[in-house]
Amino acid sequence: MDTPPSSEQSEQALSLTPQDVTSTIKEPENMTEHDKDLGARGKKHVLKGKLDEVVGKAEKQVGKVIGKPEMQAKGAAREVKGKIEAKGGEVEQKVDETLHPDKNT
């Protein structure tokens, strides 16, 4: 059983600033400038999401045709995952466009 933090520990945690937290977060050393580019990552996520969406639809239909409800469910889940990933990629691109409006001119 964990013991609750002391009042001193609680006060220390409450005194942290956003700078204290973000200064401890490090980007992976092998991350290239392209990897850091939200617009490029967004395009990649949109494409991967659309691919998952199409494959998921196909898997769902095959499961329906051959009478495999588990396959249908997996396909439906993959389709939804693809839609979410594609939408997330679109958001990444919009954020990148907002942060760097001069980049695409």
pLDDT at 85: 96
Average pLDDT over residues 98-105: 76
Please report, to the nearest 10 degrees, the dihedral formed by the alpha carbons of residues 56, 61, 67, 73 taken in order. Answer: 30
Q: Per the confidence metrics, is the pTM higher than 0.85?
A: no
Do the Cβ atoms of 89 and 49 come closer than 8 Å? yes
Residue 27 has pLDDT above 80, yes or no: no
pLDDT (tens digit, 9 = 90+) per residue, 29-59? 665 665 568 888 899 999 999 999 999 999 9
Say which DSSP state 38 is in.
H
More confident residue, 11 or 60: 60
Please check the confidence at residue 21 and state whether its pLDDT lies above 80: no
Residues 6+ apart with CB under 8 A from 101: none
pLDDT tens-place string over residues 60-88: 999 999 999 999 999 999 999 999 999 99
